[in-house]
Structure 1
Amino acid sequence: MPKIALFSGGSACRSINMALARKGLDITRIVPAWDSGGSSKTIRQSFDILSVGDIRQALMTMAHGEGRAGDVVKVCNTRLSDGADPRDAFCEFEFYAEGRHPLLERMSPGLRAAILNYLNLFRSRAGENFDYRNGSIGNFILTGAYLAHNKDINTAIFVFRKICGIAGNVWPASLQNDIELRAVLNNGKQLPQQHLITTMGEADSAAGIERIALIAGKASAGIAANGAVVEAVQKADLIVFGPGSFYTSILPHLLIDGVAEAVAGNIRAGKVFVGNILQCRETRGCDLADLLGSFAATWRKRTGGTAVPLTHVVANRQFLPFEKRLGSTPYVPNGAIREMCADLGAELLLGEYEDAWQRGQHDGEAVADILTGLLPA
């Protein structure tokens, strides 16, 4: 089957991922390993593990796209209550870990035993003070598999995929557990973690991001790419960047040792940049040409000035000569996109890619049709 490697965000890529999965393609999602917020933060701090939230979310997206939304996927997609009393969330977790949930009771004995084994291993290692509130059962299972298999996240993902019956691959960009994403704003202010960047206030958003960096712990040493990611990129028939949060989910991948080299080395694959439809706090005031310019500048700096290998840019057509908004969020203007594409030597694929029913989101089928049309015959 044709192979597609997607460097993407979470929810922004969901509809496209699902549409591609329905086409029966061999898909690999490459997700960030530096999420520092949400319930993943608690697990990351407690178990010295990279963030599993983006991995689990991408696996669930893959499962739904493949039509595998059965009992196992429903359990893995469950999130515990977020009440005031943490004991309530723990009791809810116990309901799953003891196998009393009806969805678990009707599973095959072997499958049920595997899930309970991972949940109980998680519980035994988490300790009495772990806060289960708003936690994902899938995150707990994936972390339990990580602990059971010598703290090898790739093996844990493989096992999790087998439990859910998922065909597609999802790999974190790096296997290092201590990666932090940092941003420096145009006013000199530093935001030292990913969740601080995605939730920046109005003043910081207005200042804008000057540059980002990935830091392994307190050192600035290089960060090695996940070998599974390098292999997926090398074998891909099409490599896609986006959609997703540009400065936290897309651009940082170029900062990992081995990623840009693998992308550049696969000379037969098309390389596509899919532009976002809406701005976010990270990209306030930026147009698509600006973001492509940042992508190109980061690529050239990372590779010593080699040509940016993008072959196509997918951009949403804009009909209005004035700013359009969805609530308080502006749409991403295209800016001088034609000139930027000409400068990069990339073909501009301008079309109507917004979902007619989910405003501000991509029409997954429309974008998937464009991407599959770029695959070799």
Structure 2
Amino acid sequence: MQTITIQRRASVPDELRVARCLSAPHRGPRLLFFSGGSALNGISRQLKRYTHNSAHLITPFDSGGSSEVLRKAFGMPAVGDLRSRLMALAEETDLGQPDIVRLFSHRFGLEGCPDALECEVEQVLSGEHPLVRAVPQPMRMLVVSHLQTFAQNAPVDFDYAKGSVGNLVLAGGYLGNERLLEPVLFMMSKMMDVLGTVRSVVDVNLHIGAEYEDGSVVIGQKEITGKEVPAPKARIRRLFLADDTGEVPPEEVVLPLRNQRLIRKADLICYPPGSLYSSVAANLLPARVGQEIAETNVPKIYVPSLGQDPECHGMTLSDQVGALIKVLRADAGHEVPAKALMTHVICDVSVPVSDCAAVTLDYGIPCVRLPLAEGSGQLYDEKAFCEMLVSLV
């Protein structure tokens, strides 16, 4: 696809393409996102209006929040980002969220005393809580089965405070299905009528690690993001996967065939807004990701985050592009042209022209500036973002 075509379609959304998607989203384009965190959830809710065929490969390497508690208790991948994306893509009615979505989004003990928390947990795990009882059969029976599997395996000192019921159901399903995520993700997708595909990029219990230019090395997503604890005041030189014993060679963590097929079938690949390393690049680390992307002849779009990303210490837009290309080339091969891995960068008009020009100068990748931010300039306008993407296919 020529640069001028991308720029014309994106800057003035193709009304026919957009209208076609709005009238028949079940036949919408297959947009593939390498994502994690919450940055894309609002856009995903809007995206349901345009296509029911988006695919989201989500990082399971989160090490903070309630996911951290589950990971320490059960030695399992992080499920919080998977749950939140499933809920973002769940079908909604004129009356709002279905009962099953309300249950999965409920968190324990946001207010009240410890005794109240204990009582609430007991009600949920036994299936007697009003939110559980509101779920119709036979879904309720399946949910309770997973909750009881969780309860049977949970440590006696497990901390339920602020934990998500949806995370407990995912954990129970994981433990009851030979420690596999895919079966329970499929089940939850069907329960919530998820309008798209949500998968863990790999089904392994690993962490991300970062080596910095000052020589320091940290292990764990929350150590890198700079959101829960201060991140090192240096640029990341290299990202890698690690277990409890240290770094894991990339060839030992291979993208599953089912996810390789998602890449091959995509109409467009998007490296979306989100923390550059822990939400986007982390998904590109497994073996075969870079190779499959290089061999897929579709638009491959990078849309950088708005505002400051604590992970991008002193990095320009061109540096951010280079960081993603570096991770992809580690698998695809250093001789692979940058444009085989990323065909275009699309950013808001608030990005200086000189920053865009530097991307093209350094990597030969066209950079298109478009009015995509909402009024505050801190977030993308969800409608404009979605119509831009579907106009490119």
**Do 2:103 and 2:165's aligned partners in 1 also have CA atoms closer than 8 Å?**
yes
Structure 1 pair 293–81 and aligned structure 2 pair: CA distance change class (3 A): same
Structure 2 equivalent of residue 350 of structure 1: 369
Amino acid at match of 1:115: V
Q: Secondary structure at the match of 1:30?
A: strand
Give the percent of matched residue pairs that are identical in Structure 1 and Structure 2: 28
Q: CA separation in 2, counterparts of 1:95 and 1:335?
A: 58
Structure 1 equivalent of residue 220 of structure 2: 193
Q: CA separation in 2, counterparts of 1:334 and 1:14?
A: 29
Amino acid at match of 2:64: G
Displacement after TM superposition at 1:12 (Å): 1.2
Matched, 1:295 2:327: no
Range with greater deviation from structure 2 (116-125 or 300-309): 300-309
1:154 to 173, 177, 182: 182
Amino acid at match of 2:329: R
Q: CA separation in 1, counterparts of 2:353 and 2:59?
A: 26
Matched, 1:141 2:186: no
After superposition, give the CA deviation of every residue in 1:334-356 in whole Å (9 maximum; x if it has no partner).
75322313543433221121122
Amino acid at match of 1:76: F
Structure 2 equivalent of residue 265 of structure 1: 295
**Do 2:271 and 2:301's aligned partners in 1 also have CA atoms closer than 8 Å?**
yes
**Do 2:210 and 2:239's aligned partners in 1 also have CA atoms closer than 8 Å?**
yes
Structure 2 equivalent of residue 26 of structure 1: 53
Displacement after TM superposition at 1:230 (Å): 1.3
After superposition, give the CA deviation of every residue in 1:314-343 in whole Å (9 maximum; x if it has no partner).
11112xxxxxxxxxxxxx767532231354
Structure 1 pair 266–99 and aligned structure 2 pair: CA distance change class (3 A): same
TM-score by length of 2: 0.84
**Do 1:56 and 1:139's aligned partners in 2 also have CA atoms closer than 8 Å?**
yes
1:227 to 257, 268, 276: 257
TM-score by length of 1: 0.88
Q: Secondary structure at the match of 1:211?
A: strand
Displacement after TM superposition at 1:209 (Å): 2.0
1:249 to 258, 276, 279: 279
Displacement after TM superposition at 1:199 (Å): 2.7
Q: CA separation in 2, counterparts of 1:25 and 1:122?
A: 31
Q: CA separation in 2, counterparts of 1:278 and 1:304?
A: 32
Structure 2 equivalent of residue 183 of structure 1: 210
Q: CA separation in 2, counterparts of 1:117 and 1:30?
A: 27
CA RMSD for the aligned pairs?
A: 2.4
- The runs of 5 or more residues in structure 2 that have no matched partner are 1-26
Structure 2 equivalent of residue 321 of structure 1: none
**Do 1:32 and 1:172's aligned partners in 2 also have CA atoms closer than 8 Å?**
yes
Structure 1 pair 175–124 and aligned structure 2 pair: CA distance change class (3 A): same
- The runs of 5 or more residues in structure 1 that have no matched partner are 319-331
Structure 2 equivalent of residue 326 of structure 1: none
**Do 1:75 and 1:138's aligned partners in 2 also have CA atoms closer than 8 Å?**
yes
Q: CA separation in 2, counterparts of 1:367 and 1:307?
A: 27
Q: CA separation in 2, counterparts of 1:17 and 1:257?
A: 27
Amino acid at match of 1:367: F
Displacement after TM superposition at 1:254 (Å): 2.3
**Do 2:91 and 2:194's aligned partners in 1 also have CA atoms closer than 8 Å?**
no
Write the mapping of 1:97-176 to structure 2, written as runs, cut at 5 A: 97-176=125-204
Range with greater deviation from structure 2 (14-23 or 65-74): 65-74
Q: CA separation in 2, counterparts of 1:134 and 1:110?
A: 27
Matched, 1:282 2:301: no
Amino acid at match of 2:208: L
Displacement after TM superposition at 1:149 (Å): 2.0
Equivalences, count: 359
Structure 2 equivalent of residue 322 of structure 1: none
Q: CA separation in 2, counterparts of 1:161 and 1:303?
A: 32
Structure 1 pair 364–56 and aligned structure 2 pair: CA distance change class (3 A): same
Q: CA separation in 1, counterparts of 2:322 and 2:258?
A: 29
Amino acid at match of 2:239: I
